[in-house]
A and B are shown apart, each in its own frame.
Chain A
Amino acid sequence: MKRQFSDPQLNFLVGINVLILVAATVLSHGDFLDVYNFQSMASQLPELALLAIGVSLAMIAGNGGIDLSGLGMANLAGVVAATVVPLLVDADATPWGYTGMFVVVALVTGLLGGLLNGWLIAGVGLTPILCTLGTQLIFTGAAVVLSKGSSVRLASAEPMSMIGNENLFGVPIPFIIFMVVLLAIGWLLRYSPFGIRLFLLGTNAKAARYAGIPGTRMLVTTYALCGVLASLAGVIIAARTASVKADYGSSYLLIAILVAVMAGVRPQGGYGRMVCLFFSATALQLLSSTFNLLDISNFFRDCAWGLLLLCFLASARINLADYRLFTPRKSATLAQSPPGSTNK
C-alpha cells in the first residue's frame, strides 16, 4: 500500500488523462464538460476495455501469451445468442427471459471458446499468438456462417436495450458492468491465490513449475476467463447496437492490445495492474472523443494514439526499476520438463 503513489506508470496515465481533459475543455470552450458527453464516452468505453482486460490477462500469464481471438469471440457469442435464443424463448412474451437467456447463451459460448483456446495452448502446446490467430478465424468464420454474413436484428426486448442504452443514477449500465468486472479482476489478481500464482507463472514458468503451480490448469482457466470477458463484450455490443454482426469492430483488436500495452502490462508476462488499464482505456477514449468534438480527422487520431504510446514508452524507459524490461531475460516454456525427469 505504501507504493500507492510510487507507481510511475499510474502517475503518468493519470497525468495524461488530466492533461487531455484540461486541453479538451479549453479547446472546446467548455463544451466538453457536458454530462451527456461523459455519459456517451462512458458507454462507448466498456466493449473495448473488456477486450483489453482479456488481452492483459493472457499477457500476464506469460509464455508469449496474447489473445487475438477476443473480438471474434465477442461477435460469435453475440451471433450464437441472437440466432439460438429466439428458438427457445419468445421475446414478446417474456422479455426478461429473453434477455437472461441471451446473456447465458453468450457467456457459455465464450466459456467454451476460451476453454478451446486454453486447451490448445496449455494442453496441445501451441504458441498463443498462432493459436488465437487461428481460433479468431474460426470464431469469425462460424459467426459469418451462422449470420450469413449480414447483421442480425435482435428481438425487441426492453431489458436488453436497457443494458446497452440506459443509465443507472446517471451512469450508463455498460460502464457499471465494466467497473464491476474490472474491480473483480483487479481483486483476483492482487489478493487471490490465483492471481499470485498467475504473476509467478508469468514471471518465470520454470520456477513456477518447481514451486508446484499447476501451469496447465492455470493457463486453461486464464484463457477461459478471457473468453468469458470477450463474450461479455459481445453482449454489450449486441445490447448497444440492437443487432449482431460477424465483422463488427474489426478495428478493435489492435486498439485493445494498445490499451493493454499502454497500461504497462508486460508483454513477457508477470506484471499488469487493472487500475492502470482503466486509465489507459479512458485516455484513449478521451482523446478519441476530443478529436471528434473538435472535427479532427480520424487519421490524425490514429497518429495521436501512436504518439501517446511512444510518450508512454519514453516515460517508462527512463524508470530504472523497469530498465530490465529492455534487457533480454531468460525464460522457460511450460512444456520443458524439470531436470531429473527421465520420461518425455
Chain B
Amino acid sequence: MLTKTKCAAAIIALGTLSVAGVLHAQNKKPVDIVTVVKITGMSWFNRMEVGVKEFGAANVGVVNARQIGPAQSDAAQQQRLVEDLVAKKVDAIAVVSMDPLTLEPVLKRALDRGIKVVTHEADNQKNTLVDIEAFDNTAYGARLNERLAECMGKTGKWSSLLGSLGSQSQVQWADGGANNAKKYPKMTLVDAKNETANDAEKAYGKAKEILRKHPDIKGFQGSSSLDVLGIGRAIEEAGLTGKICVYGTGLPSEAAKFLESGAVGGIAFWDPKDAGIMMNKAALMLVQGKTITNGMDMGVPGYNAVTVKKGPGVGIIVTGKAWVEVDKSNYKKYAF
C-alpha cells in the first residue's frame, strides 16, 4: 500500500515533467533572444508579446524570439528568471526592468558570460548594451501641446494636469507642453500642473474647479492616462463639449467614450508592440555585431530616425519618436 501510493506520487510528478517536455519546443540553431517583461498576463505586456512574436515570425530560421515574465509582480521573481537565462546562456536578453537597480549584478554576470543585454525604459541601467526609450519626454509633451494649440487657434487660457509631481516623466511632459506654448504669445497657462493622484475622480474634481475659476478657459493638457477621462467628464457635464480642447496621454479603450462624444479632442500613447519589436531588433543587431548609429532608420514605426547617446554604463541609449497620436477617426485601430 505504502509503495503503491509512493509510486502513484512519483508517476504524477514524472507526468508533470513530461507534460512540461511536450510543451517545450525543440532546440533550434537560430539566435536565441528572450524578452523578459515585468509581469505576464497584463494587457500592456500581452501587446508587447504580439510585437515579439511578429518579429520572430518575420525572421523565421534567423531568430528564436520569445517572451517570458514572472507570474507575480515581484522584482525578486524577475531577477530569478534572468538568473536562469544567464545559466542557460541564451544569445540575448531583452528586459523591461521591474527595478533597474535590482537587476544590475545579474545583468553584469550576463554581460560577463557574453550575453547581449538590451533594456527598455531604464535609462539609468548601467549593465546594458542598448537601452531603448520610446521617446524623449520633453518632445512628447511639446507635441501634445502643439496639437492643443492648433485646436485652440493658438489663443486663450489653458491648464495642465498630471498624476503626481513625483513622477519624473509626467512632470517633463507638462513642462515640455508649457515650453511649447511660449511660442504663442496669445496662449496663457493658468494654474499649471494640478496633481490628480492618478485618479480619474480627482481629475474630474480638479477640472470642475478650474472651470469655475476660469470660465473662459479654452484648453486642457492631461498627463496621466486617467486625466483625460476626468476632464472629459467634467466638460460633458458642464455642456461645454466642443468648446474646450482636451489633449493628453490616454488609452484608446478607456478614452473611447469621450473621443466619440468630442469631449476629448485627441490622445497620445506609445505602442508596446513596437517597443517589443525594437528591443529584439536591437538585440539581433548586437549578436550580429552591428551597431546602432545616430539618425538610423530601424524600420519600426516611430523609430525611423533614432537619437543615440551614451548611457550611464557601457551601453548606449536609443531614443525614438514612437508616440502614437489618435483622435476620433482612428482610435479603433488600437485595441488596448
Contacts and interface: CB of A to CB of B under 8 A. Distances in A.
A19 B20 contact: no
Contacts of A300: 20, 23
Contacts of A29: 27
Contacts of B20: 27, 290-291, 294, 296, 300, 304
B155 interface: no
Contact of B6 (A153, A308, A315): A315
Contacts of B105: 161, 164-165, 240-242
Nearest to A310: B12
Given A249-B76, A315-B9, A151 B17 contact: no
A40 interface: yes
A34 B113 CA distance: 14
B296 interface: no
A251 B13 contact: no
Given A27-B21, A165-B109, A34 B87 contact: yes
Nearest to A320: B2
Interface string B64-82: 0010111111111101110
A295 B24 contact: yes
Given A252-B76, A299-B40, A151 B87 contact: no
Given A248-B102, A295-B24, A19 B88 contact: no
Interface in B15-66: 16-18, 20-21, 23-25, 27, 40-41, 66
Nearest to B84: A292
B14 A295 contact: no
A213 B106 CA distance: 48
Contacts of B99: 151, 243, 245, 248
B24 A151 contact: no
Contacts of B1: 318
Interface string A270-298: 00000000000000000011111111111
B5 interface: yes
A311 B9 contact: yes
B86 interface: yes
A24 B6 CA distance: 20
A229 B126 CA distance: 32
B262 to A, nearest CB: 39
A343 interface: no
A323 to B, nearest CB: 12
A300 B106 CA distance: 24
B101 interface: yes
Nearest to B75: A248
B69 A298 contact: yes
B88 A37 contact: yes
B256 interface: no
B85 interface: yes
A294 B85 CA distance: 10
A272 B74 CA distance: 30
Interface residues of A, number: 64
A288 B76 CA distance: 14
Interface class of chain A by DSSP: helix
A326 B106 CA distance: 45
User: Majority SS of interface residues in chain B?
Assistant: helix
Contacts of B113: 36
A319 B79 CA distance: 39
Contacts of B9: 12, 311-312, 314-315
B83 interface: yes
Q: Which of B21, B68, B80, B113 has the most CB of A within 10 A?
A: B80
Contact of B88 (A252, A292, A308, A314): A292
A15 interface: yes
Contact of A44 (B66, B71, B83, B101): B83
B156 to A, nearest CB: 39
Given A27-B21, A304-B16, A318-B2, A292 B102 contact: no
A330 B75 CA distance: 43
Contacts of A308: 13, 16
Given A19-B13, A44-B80, A289-B87, A296 B101 contact: no
Contact of B17 (A27, A161, A247): A27
Nearest to B69: A298
A294 B16 CA distance: 13
Contacts of A243: 99, 101-102, 104
B324 interface: no
A90 interface: no
Contacts of B5: 314-315, 317-318
B88 A31 contact: yes
A210 B91 CA distance: 65
Given A37-B87, A243-B102, A298 B70 contact: yes
B68 to A, nearest CB: 7
Interface in A47-71: 47
A196 interface: no
A323 B13 CA distance: 23
Given A44-B80, A241-B101, A299 B2 contact: no
Given A29-B27, A295-B24, A297-B71, 13 more contacts: A20-B13, A27-B17, A27-B21, A36-B113, A37-B87, A40-B86, A153-B101, A248-B76, A249-B74, A298-B71, A300-B20, A308-B16, A317-B5
15 contacts: A19-B13, A24-B17, A36-B87, A37-B87, A39-B87, A40-B83, A47-B76, A237-B76, A241-B103, A242-B101, A292-B80, A295-B24, A308-B16, A317-B5, A318-B1
Please provide the 7 A-B residue pairs with the shortest distance between their CB atoms, ordered closest to farther. A292-B84, A249-B76, A40-B87, A243-B101, A311-B9, A23-B17, A294-B24
